[in-house]
Amino acid sequence: MNIHEKYIKRCIELAKNGLGATYPNPLVGSVIVYKNKIIGEGWHQKAGAPHAEVNAVNSVRDESLLKKSTIYVSLEPCSHFGKTPPCSDLIIAKGIKKVIIGTVDPFAEVAGRGIKKLMEAGCEVQVGILEKECQDLNKRFFTFHQKKQPYIILKWAQTADGFIAPKVQEKREPVWITNQYSKQLVHKWRSEEQAILVGTNTAIADNPKLNTRLWNGKNPVRVVIDKELKIPQESALFNGSIKTIVLTEYVKNSGDNLIFEKIDFQQDIVKQICEVLYRHNLQSVIIEGGAKTLQTFIDANLWDEARVFTGISEFHEGINAPQFSGIKLSETNLERDTLKNYKND
């Protein structure tokens, strides 16, 4: 690892602190180095707040050192006025002459303009340090702006004998397959993504809340497929506490925190769902079930990650877990549960 990679790696570490809080903005980290020593660092903490470069500059005790320093940033400094002024202007104003960037920003308002502005001001700019890692850091942001769809995460829990749910449920509540640590991890994941989606059968059988009650974080937007509007109105999904989008074949007036979106169930459902989520500026979504909904996304080959828990219990009969193929990235044990992470190959 060379010296530039060392400091961009630190930028990535810092940026991850903002996961779940910066939407619609990307995750960005920045460090300022003088004579091979970090004298300032920062990350973008939430949308509307100062960007990473601003926080890094503000953390430097002796501002006179900035003109002799190098600033590292995981993503191209912005060049436009949004909720905050352009970071490229700040770098130029502070007299920082050397800028090392992880990757170019795909957002149309930036997309190389920040780099161009810095170079025209006489800065020495180097781009593409740990580029793949910096793009992976913002896989949601890149997918949203380049593919015009959200980053899609499939998640389910299955029994040791391969079932996702029992054949019959006596009560309208989830039948838990995994332990408390796995459940808490799922709630952490929910706080990191912008939306969470379930199908009609899951909404009816489990009456899920789809919130982050086991983790301190922002609730994702709830999305539910309800073609014929069969889900009971007293369901937790319709309690008005969280923005909820209902995908249906009917035209129905929306209300506070409850939005009805009409789609054509005779056409490509998954593509239409992605279009609705994109229109609502949702950069990521966790598909939490049920089996039919998960398999629909798998069969359409519209998914990016799969996170699959396997518990120790057995149902002997029930609803089979989805069938898919992907590249396994990792395998982790949470007590006696097993978690396998895959990416779409």
For position 174, what pLDDT does the model report? 84
Phi/psi at 187 (nearest 5 deg)?
Answer: -70, -35
Can you tell me whether residue 292 is helix, strand or coil? helix
Binding residue per annotation — 78?
A: yes
- Do residue 317 and residue 276 come from a single domain? yes
How much is the mean pLDDT over the chain?
Answer: 94
Binding residue per annotation — 11?
A: no
Binding residue per annotation — 176?
A: yes
pLDDT tens digit string along 218-277? 999 999 999 999 999 999 999 999 999 999 999 988 988 999 999 999 999 999 999 999
Instruction: Give me the mean pLDDT over the 277-288 stretch.
Output: 98
Cα–Cα distance, 281 to 276 (Å, whole number): 9
Cα–Cα distance, 151 to 32 (Å, whole number): 31
Tell me which residue range forms the domain holding 21.
3-141
Instruction: Give me the mean pLDDT over the 201-214 stretch.
Output: 95
- Do residue 258 and residue 155 come from a single domain? yes
- Length reported for the chain: 345
- Do residue 73 and residue 130 come from a single domain? yes
CATH code for position 64: 3.40.140.10
95 prior amide bond cis, ω within 30: no
Cα–Cα distance, 84 to 105 (Å, whole number): 17
- Do residue 129 and residue 162 come from a single domain? no
| Count of structural domains within the chain | 2
Helix residue ranges, H only, the chain: 3-15, 52-58, 87-93, 113-120, 131-137, 139-147, 180-192, 200-206, 269-279, 291-299
Catalytic residues: 53
- Do residue 279 and residue 168 come from a single domain? yes
Q: What is the pTM assigned to this prediction?
A: 0.93
Looking at the chain, the number of H-run helices and the number of E-run strands are: 10, 16
For position 169, what pLDDT does the model report? 81
- Do residue 178 and residue 293 come from a single domain? yes
- Do residue 330 and residue 183 come from a single domain? yes
Task: State the CB neighbour count (10 A cutoff) for residue 187.
Answer: 16
- Do residue 195 and residue 246 come from a single domain? yes
Q: Which of 110, 141, 172 is the last residue of a domain?
A: 141
pLDDT tens digit string along 14-67? 999 999 999 999 999 999 999 999 999 999 999 989 999 999 999 999 999 999
Sheet arrangement for strand 258-262 = 258-262, 244-248, 221-225, 195-198, 284-289, 151-158, 305-310, 337-343, 327-334
The conformational region for residue 265 under phi > 0 = left, psi -120 to 50 = alpha, else beta, is: alpha
Amino acid in position 54: V
Phi/psi at 67 (nearest 5 deg)?
Answer: -65, -20
- Do residue 173 and residue 309 come from a single domain? yes
Binding residue per annotation — 51?
A: yes
Contact 145, 106 (CB under 8 A): yes
Q: Which of 141, 173, 195 is the last residue of a domain?
A: 141
Binding residue per annotation — 288?
A: yes
Task: State the CB neighbour count (10 A cutoff) for residue 271.
Answer: 13
Binding residue per annotation — 190?
A: yes
- Do residue 44 and residue 121 come from a single domain? yes
Binding residue per annotation — 87?
A: yes
CATH code for position 334: 3.40.430.10
- Do residue 260 and residue 282 come from a single domain? yes
- Do residue 200 and residue 108 come from a single domain? no
Q: Which of 141, 166, 189 is the last residue of a domain?
A: 141
